[in-house]
Amino acid sequence: MQQKFKLSQAFIAKYKRKKPPFGFNGLGELVYMRTYSRLKENGKNEKWWETVQRVVEGAYTMQMNWIESHQLGWNPWRAQKSAQEMFDRIYNMKFLPPGRGLWAMGTPITEERNLYAALNNCAFVSTETIKDDGSKPFTFLMDASMLGVGVGFDTKGAEKIMVKGPTTKREPEVFVIPDTREGWVESVAALIDSYFHGTPDITFDYSQIREAGVPIKGFGGQSSGPEPLREVHETIRGVLDGNAGAPITITTIVDIMNLIGKCVVAGNVRRTAEIVFGDPYSEEYMDLKNYEVNPHRDQYGWTSNNSIFAELGMDYSEACKRIVGNGEPGFAWLENMQGYSRMKNGKDNKDHRAMGGNPCLEQTLESYELCCLVETFPYKHESLEDYLKTLKYAYLYAKTVTLGKTHWPETNRVMLRNRRIGCSVSGVAQFLTYRGVGELREWLETGYDEIQRLDDVYSDFLAIPKSIKTTSVKPSGTVSLLAGSTPGVHYPESRFYIRRMRLSVNSELLQPLEAAGYKVEPAFGSEDSTVCIEVPIDVGDGIRTADQLTVWEQFSLAAFMQRHWADNQVSCTVTFDPDKEAEQLEQCLNYFQYQLKGISCLPRFDAGAYKQMPYEAIDEKSYNKMTKKLKPLSFTKMKGEDAEAEKFCDGDVCLV
């Protein structure tokens, strides 16, 4: 039986009445209450100190049980001191675990069900070995997605297995689907394999699946009923029928993956994160999101970001023409991903087995590999020495997650060997504004060296391999909102703006928001069920906005971070004026292809004003007028409400 680590109650008591440093005029606290504050056994929501306590105790429980099970010598006093320091740095948001960790660490999901995969942000699976793997790449993506892990995949399995179709010489087999995640996944595996191996057709029995609206324990939310699963069975069957008697095509591979993504969304994981990597010279692949060519795909093509495995020295002109239309494809230089760590260190071929990356493309990954990302906020530190201390605990959290086994043998094999982690930085725009590029370079390089030193120390302490790579720049999203930080390397759209969020009309969060003076109104188009909350935001004096940065500066910043910090990758979406800068993209790619591992580009179109836009730029006068009406926000008296767990990566740029 596992032991559980506990923080000192005397230590915890010091934080119970403190006001957490949530950012952005209550937005950070609202995001926390909506997304990460779990419902306790007494029916009330966690407070921030309780969430941090659960997460830290969960992490040190993992460490303790690893050390004890391998008889390596656990020191309770040193562990208590270390855990208290980690608690303080998470509480004050000098670093934060991923959203997945804030939600799942220290809960029955990990401590009773041992679903440690749920602590990881992202994964990748290749279809190249589809002849041997059969349905496995598809069901891995489905299983991981249902656990909240964003998944990348490729199309290298095209032409490598025949779609035989089910045999008509034997009676169909009945598959009674258990009302579990595993049952859903196994049903899709049985269906796909019947087409690959020519086994009897499958008839599904959905009678055991709970009705729509029934609460789901553990992962939160409500059951969708059997309809999303029934639909994915029917649509996958239709796709494979269309490919029957021939080798599997690129379109079939991507269709099945996208249909699974749509099912997962409808099955109560509200957002999906998929990325597909394809051949830049394949017209079939490049046209997958051309809905004039593939009109049937407009119902599910949105579930993935589509990128290409760009070749160094290739002609980028055709890809750039497509980008101006819809922001795709993105670019991944697999040769650089495999050959380099930080670009400044020269070629090391350390990641020669890498096959792709995650949906936001900040992680180089092998097939079936997962990774945990943590986020640090350099600008929230007064000194480099203090930041180096934060890096110790951010690193230690991520390294600890690698101790948890998954339920996939292929994943365990690669993760036990690689121990890959991603220590990220956010608030880069804020740091550059107030401290400058020279100091940023010093902090990044000194910090990187410190993480390598820590990896020597703690890999030895835990008696596990050193991490193959340790640093990244993630795009961030809700996690950076908690801390009041700009996301990753990205600049804000406006200094002053209104951030709108939607809540159910029955949400217990509404009364405290209204009492504090926030504007709450019916959500346009869903007036009976949803309300819209307006939060005024000021990202800080002197910070430039995204439209003030040229494409060249944005590419340069990504390359700077890839050179001085990220040995994995930098997730960066370059925004550009399609009328003035589109013609410069090809030259940017030509120059920077030797300095980057991945990049995406998004045209800035004036969508025009429409009701209740998520972000609306305002001037300082409007901002001051809105904030004068606000009173202190307090959720202490609200009734309990289960949070809507953030799934997948945490960044809006890779969630579709």
- pTM exceeds 0.85: yes
pLDDT score of 217: 61
Predicted confidence (pLDDT) at residue 98 exceeds the cutoff of 60: yes
Instruction: Enumerate residues 6+ apart whose C-beta is below 8 A from 594.
Output: 312, 336
Least confident stretch, 260-274, 280-294, 317-331, 557-571: 260-274
What mean pLDDT is reported for the chain? 92
595-612 per-position pLDDT tens digit: 999 999 999 877 555 678
| Segment (H or E) for 384 | helix 384-401
Instruction: Classify domain 9-119+372-486 by CATH number.
Output: 3.20.70.20
487 pLDDT band, cuts 50/70/90, is very high
Query: In whole angstroms, what is the distance from residue 197 CA to residue 260 CA?
Result: 20
Handedness of CA 630, 633, 639, 640 (dihedral sign): positive
One-character DSSP codes across 217-266: TTT-SB---SHHHHHHHHHHHHHHHHHTTEEPPHHHHHHHHHHHHHHHHH
- Per-residue confidence band for 286, with pLDDT thresholds at 50, 70 and 90: very high
Task: Exactly one of 29, 111, 362, 369 is catalytic; name it.
Answer: 362
Average pLDDT over residues 76-89: 98
| Residue 524, pLDDT above cutoff 90 | no
Q: Do domains 9-119+372-486 and 122-288+304-334+354-365 have the same CATH topology?
A: no
* pLDDT (tens digit per residue) in 130-148: 999 999 999 999 999 998 8
pLDDT surpassing 80 at residue 254: yes
Which residues sit opposite 200 in a β-bridge?
Answer: 167
How do residues 382-393 score in pLDDT, each as one tens digit?
A: 999 999 999 999
Is residue 573 within 8 A of residue 275, CB to CB? The reply is: no
CATH topology of domain 122-288+304-334+354-365: 3.30.1620
Beta-bridge partners for 373:
422
Q: Is 112 a catalytic residue?
A: no
Is 50 exceeded by the pLDDT of residue 59? yes
Tell me the average pLDDT across 488-510: 89
CA Rg, the chain, in Å? 24
- Is the pLDDT reported for residue 45 higher than 80? yes
List the chain domain ranges: 9-119+372-486, 122-288+304-334+354-365
pLDDT of residue 652: 41
Percent of the chain with pLDDT over 70: 94
User: Is 362 a known active-site residue?
Assistant: yes
Selecting among 320, 360, 601, 649, the annotated active-site residue is: 360
